[in-house]
């Protein structure tokens, strides 16, 4: 068998195996590897699979599956389809099965924006590793995550899936997610190179999707290559450097060229310049949509443009399966383009070890997540919470006889706390806030019906303190869910006003998939905690945080603007010719009717203690461009009475550059866990590479000259020092 089929020989180098298989493939089989269908059915599609006419399947209920539930993955169907591919097809090439495993599988963790708020690469890696293990048992070999779209537009529902607005944060967390999904790659021999028990990751959506006009999903994107390179491409580069196996093209156009036809960015930048040898997959019908976007006359034309641009797999449009072979025969598409696409798919299957282990072992999938998985889910949920304001009302003290009212539309929720893109989560797995409160407080818990009605006011008057659980349902976030108003959903603010008017302590917990305009809530509540959509352990994580068993340690991964009228409002701002002075919003560039600075800056978040920052200490003031570095340290004192975590952030600014550079760009962060009174030191290493950027000619460079280092608790500022980069 293996002598006839040298591609199965593990003693040969992987690339030799790939080429040996490619050499055997007919044009139809080659095209087959580029064709992907949704929900492949072993019976209905037996002939197609048996002929080698398909290479992969996506298990999803529809075009915007993130907001829908489906029946889950049927392992028996996966194995049955695989049996046809491996045993009945001429070359026996196994199929890939992809699914959107975005923030957990059966064990659902916080939405990615919430995970990002933990600013913790190790945590993100562990959640992805567990998701991969659970998904693998279900027969999934490929997930469409991490989502790395730089997100500074809260009207866009998809920010919930993102890792925030800062390239360095999204890049590092994205790379950690890739390592979690894919495991530690093994270099040995030509066997599987992705870790065992893992799935292939997919960095998406390449690129610029976060810039959709007006925050409307799928809208056209206006951006130049310089901004793409200096901002939006950076997390993708980090994921590719971490070995991310696949990349997904974005639905949008970039400055007039739809990404599924964007040869410059897909082929020239991603594949040629970065040396990416993995698979570029289309988004759902993205190839077909070139017709809707008005750049392709028909599906045939769309197929020709997409394969030339570098899209290797056509997700569901059918354009490649219908037209590629004929386009090659007509001399309109070079055979080598199609062979290169198939080569990448085969390489991925070999890297995954699918030729050796095509079938899902017959271990029954866990009907419920295991206790240790739930503990990780609780840790992740609690780590994602961000405390926005607190006048000392939190943490709550559980004095016997103190009656705590739990109210608001999320008090009894289960499934809604899983968030968007939790296809395999189950509402019944969720520990709701009401159940966790009841467990904690017993008779002292007063739990409202969640309707937020007149009865609520009655209960507020009768109890000592109110915890109001408000915010947006996940059906208002995720794909195709954009809004024009980023305030709380209809009616909630009115009820909060009425509760606050009664004059008793009020804690507001906000579940959300996006930054909200919380201006008035921040003023009327005693404490406000952002809880995102926290996953299966929502209730216990919340109770443990509100009662102080855990301290909130999250920091905002996106700016919270003052209103929609203030957008864009983020930490990515660059200097203008007439700068706004942050202190008074004077000068030009201001609004006449409002302050420009964000309501809550990127990186901000409180905890149950306070921290004092000492002066910056620098190991040198000059940094040679060639191999130099400077150590920057700051002492941070826990000046309060409880233990807590501070996320010390370092921002850089290149003062004079070839193009406008951010006023303050996140370069690194250090987490310090400090006991009351303890002093910790955050030490950063500044390197010339952190100041590198693409210039007017799209060349990566570092400027000799002045740079400013700022170290502080968020993007609104901190202690600064000037250094000089010397040539």
- Rounded CA-CA distance 619/669 in Å is 18
Residue matched to tokens 């010390």:
648
Q: What's the closest the beta carbon of residue 201 comes to ligand NOJ, in angstroms?
A: 12
Q: What's the closest the beta carbon of residue 484 comes to ligand NOJ, in angstroms?
A: 21
142 near ligand NOJ (CB under 6 A):
no
Per CB under 6 A, contacts with ligand NOJ among 694-713 are: none
Closer by beta carbon to ligand NOJ, 58 or else 303: 58
60 near ligand NOJ (CB under 6 A):
yes
Closer by beta carbon to ligand NOJ, 60 or else 445: 60
Q: What's the closest the beta carbon of residue 479 comes to ligand NOJ, in angstroms?
A: 6
* Stretch of 58-66, 381-389, 563-571, 621-629 contacting ligand NOJ, by CB under 6 A: 58-66
Q: What's the closest the beta carbon of residue 375 comes to ligand NOJ, in angstroms?
A: 29
The widest CA-to-CA distance across the chain, in whole angstroms, is 83
Phi, then psi, of 560 in degrees rounded to 5: -100, 110
Please say if 283 is a catalytic residue.
yes
What is the torsion angle, in degrees rounded to the nearest 10, for the CA atoms of residue 389, residue 391, residue 392 and residue 394?
Answer: -40
Closer by beta carbon to ligand NOJ, 65 or else 468: 65
Which of 32, 34, 82, 100 touches ligand NOJ (CB under 6 A)?
Answer: 100
Q: What's the closest the beta carbon of residue 284 comes to ligand NOJ, in angstroms?
A: 4
Q: Is the peptide bond before 356 cis (omega within 30 degrees of 0)?
A: no
- Rounded CA-CA distance 620/618 in Å is 5
User: What is the torsional sign of CA 293, 298, 303, 309?
Assistant: negative
Q: Which residues contact 403 (CB under 8 A, 6 or more apart)?
A: 444, 446, 462, 463, 464, 465
Closer by beta carbon to ligand NOJ, 235 or else 598: 235
Q: What number of other Cβ atoms are within 10 A of residue 706's Cβ?
A: 13
Closer by beta carbon to ligand NOJ, 60 or else 518: 60
Closer by beta carbon to ligand NOJ, 58 or else 175: 58
Q: What's the closest the beta carbon of residue 139 comes to ligand NOJ, in angstroms?
A: 16
| Two tokens, residue 344 | 């990448």
Per CB under 6 A, contacts with ligand NOJ among 616-645 are: none
Closer by beta carbon to ligand NOJ, 100 or else 379: 100
Q: What's the closest the beta carbon of residue 315 comes to ligand NOJ, in angstroms?
A: 7
Residue matched to tokens 């089929």:
5
Q: What's the closest the beta carbon of residue 309 comes to ligand NOJ, in angstroms?
A: 18
- Rounded CA-CA distance 500/717 in Å is 32
Nearest residue to 722 (alpha-carbon basis) of 630, 613, 603: 630
- Rounded CA-CA distance 682/670 in Å is 6
Beta strands in 408-490 (DSSP E): 445-447, 465-471
Q: What number of other Cβ atoms are within 10 A of residue 225's Cβ?
A: 15
Question: Is residue 113 a contact partner of residue 103, using CB atoms and an 8 Å limit?
Answer: no
Number of residues that bind ligand NOJ (CB under 6 A): 9
144 near ligand NOJ (CB under 6 A):
yes
Nearest residue to 166 (alpha-carbon basis) of 113, 225, 212: 113
Q: Which residues contact 415 (CB under 8 A, 6 or more apart)?
A: 425, 426, 427, 430
Q: Which residue is nearest to ligand NOJ (CB)?
A: 144
Question: Is residue 572 a contact partner of residue 231, using CB atoms and an 8 Å limit?
Answer: yes
Which of 284, 410, 608, 651 touches ligand NOJ (CB under 6 A)?
Answer: 284
| Two tokens, residue 156 | 């866009």
Q: What's the closest the beta carbon of residue 163 comes to ligand NOJ, in angstroms?
A: 14
- Rounded CA-CA distance 695/697 in Å is 5
Which of 49, 65, 163, 254 touches ligand NOJ (CB under 6 A)?
Answer: 65
* Stretch of 57-65, 264-272, 595-603, 622-630 contacting ligand NOJ, by CB under 6 A: 57-65
Which of 19, 29, 153, 479 touches ligand NOJ (CB under 6 A)?
Answer: 479
- Rounded CA-CA distance 98/246 in Å is 11
Q: What's the closest the beta carbon of residue 481 comes to ligand NOJ, in angstroms?
A: 12
- Rounded CA-CA distance 559/569 in Å is 7
User: What is the torsional sign of CA 86, 88, 89, 91?
Assistant: positive
Which one of 253, 283, 340, 526 is the catalytic residue? Answer: 283
Closer by beta carbon to ligand NOJ, 58 or else 376: 58
Q: What's the closest the beta carbon of residue 252 comes to ligand NOJ, in angstroms?
A: 10
Question: Is residue 141 a contact partner of residue 97, using CB atoms and an 8 Å limit?
Answer: yes
Q: Which residues contact 471 (CB under 8 A, 6 or more apart)?
A: 410, 488, 489, 492, 509, 510, 511, 512, 516, 531
- Rounded CA-CA distance 27/32 in Å is 8
User: What is the torsional sign of CA 47, 50, 52, 55?
Assistant: positive
Per CB under 6 A, contacts with ligand NOJ among 199-258 are: 204
Closer by beta carbon to ligand NOJ, 218 or else 276: 218
Nearest residue to 279 (alpha-carbon basis) of 318, 240, 253, 252: 240
Which of 120, 138, 283, 314 touches ligand NOJ (CB under 6 A)?
Answer: 283
| Two tokens, residue 661 | 């550079």
What is the torsion angle, in degrees rounded to the nearest 10, for the CA atoms of residue 511, residue 517, residue 523 and residue 528?
Answer: 20
Give the number of residues written for the chain: 727
Q: What's the closest the beta carbon of residue 144 comes to ligand NOJ, in angstroms?
A: 3
Residues that bind ligand NOJ (CB under 6 A): 58, 60, 65, 100, 144, 204, 283-284, 479
Catalytically active residues, by annotation: 283
């Amino acid at each position: 068998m293996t002598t006839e089929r040298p591609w199965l020989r593990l003693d040969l180098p992987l690339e030799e195996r790939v080429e040996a298989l490619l050499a055997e493939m007919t044009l139809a089989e080659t095209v087959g590897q580029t064709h992907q269908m949704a929900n492949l059915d072993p019976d209905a599609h037996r002939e197609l699979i048996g002929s080698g006419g398909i290479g992969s399947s996506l298990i999803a209920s529809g075009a915007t599956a993130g907001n829908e539930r489906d029946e889950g993955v049927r392992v028996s169907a996966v194995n049955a389809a695989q049996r046809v591919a491996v045993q009945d097809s001429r070359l026996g090439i196994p199929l890939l099965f992809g699914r959107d495993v975005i923030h957990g599988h059966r064990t659902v963790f916080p939405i990615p924006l919430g995970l990002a708020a933990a600013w913790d690469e190790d945590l993100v890696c562990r959640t992805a590793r567990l998701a991969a293990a659970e998904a693998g048992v279900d027969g999934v070999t490929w997930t469409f995550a991490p989502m790395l779209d730089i997100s500074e537009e809260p009207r866009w529902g998809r920010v919930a899936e993102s890792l925030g607005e800062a390239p360095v944060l999204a890049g590092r967390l994205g790379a950690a997610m890739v390592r979690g999904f894919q495991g530690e790659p093994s270099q040995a021999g030509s066997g599987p190179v992705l870790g065992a028990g893992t799935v292939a990751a997919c960095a998406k959506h390449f690129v610029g999707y976060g810039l959709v006009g007006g925050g409307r999903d799928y809208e056209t994107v206006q951006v130049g290559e310089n901004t793409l390179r200096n901002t939006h491409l950076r997390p993708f580069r980090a994921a590719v450097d971490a070995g991310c196996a696949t990349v997904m093209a974005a639905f949008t156009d970039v400055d007039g060229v739809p990404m599924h036809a964007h040869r410059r960015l897909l082929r020239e930048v991603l594949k040629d310049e970065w040396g990416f040898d993995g698979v570029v997959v289309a988004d759902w019908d993205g190839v077909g949509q070139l017709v809707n976007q008005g750049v392709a006359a028909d599906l045939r034309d769309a197929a020709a443009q997409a394969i030339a641009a570098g899209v290797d797999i056509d997700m569901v449009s059918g354009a490649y399966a219908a037209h590629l072979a004929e386009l090659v025969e007509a001399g309109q598409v070079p055979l080598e383009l199609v062979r290169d696409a198939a080569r990448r798919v085969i390489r991925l299957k070999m890297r995954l070890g699918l030729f050796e282990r095509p079938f899902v072992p017959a271990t029954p999938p866990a009907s419920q997540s295991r206790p240790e998985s739930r503990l990780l889910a609780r840790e992740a949920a609690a780590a994602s919470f961000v405390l926005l304001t607190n006048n000392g009302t939190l943490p709550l003290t559980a004095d016997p006889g103190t009656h705590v009212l739990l109210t608001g539309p999320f008090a009894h929720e289960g499934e809604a706390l899983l968030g968007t893109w939790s296809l395999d989560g189950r509402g019944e797995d969720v520990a709701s806030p009401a159940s966790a409160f009841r467990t904690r407080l017993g008779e002292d818990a007063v739990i409202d019906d969640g309707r937020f009605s007149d009865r609520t006011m009655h209960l507020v008057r009768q109890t000592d303190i109110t915890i109001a659980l408000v915010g947006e349902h996940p059906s208002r976030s995720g794909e195709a869910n954009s809004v024009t108003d980023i305030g709380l959903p209809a009616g909630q603010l009115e009820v909060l006003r009425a509760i606050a008017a009664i004059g008793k302590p009020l804690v507001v917990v906000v579940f959300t998939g996006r930054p909200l305009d919380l201006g008035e809530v921040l003023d009327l509540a005693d404490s406000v905690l952002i809880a995102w959509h926290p996953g299966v352990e929502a209730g216990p994580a919340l109770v443990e945080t509100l009662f102080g068993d855990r301290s909130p340690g999250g920091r905002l991964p996106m700016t919270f603007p003052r209103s929609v009228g203030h957008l864009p409002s983020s930490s990515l701002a660059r200097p203008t010719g007439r700068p706004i002075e942050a202190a008074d919003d004077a000068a030009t560039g201001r609004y006449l009717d409002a302050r420009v600075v964000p309501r809550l800056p990127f990186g901000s978040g409180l905890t149950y203690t306070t921290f004092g920052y000492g002066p910056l200490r620098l190991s040198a003031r000059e940094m040679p461009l060639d191999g130099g570095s400077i150590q920057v340290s700051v002492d941070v004192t826990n000046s309060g009475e409880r233990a807590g975590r501070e996320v010390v952030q370092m921002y850089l600014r290149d003062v004079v550059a070839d193009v406008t550079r951010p006023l303050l760009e996140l370069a690194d962060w250090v987490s310090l866990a400090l006991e009351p009174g303890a002093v910790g030191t955050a030490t950063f290493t500044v390197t010339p590479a952190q100041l590198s950027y693409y210039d007017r000619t799209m060349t990566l460079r570092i400027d000799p000259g002045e740079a400013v280092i700022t170290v502080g608790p968020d993007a609104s500022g901190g202690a600064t020092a000037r250094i000089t980069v010397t040539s």
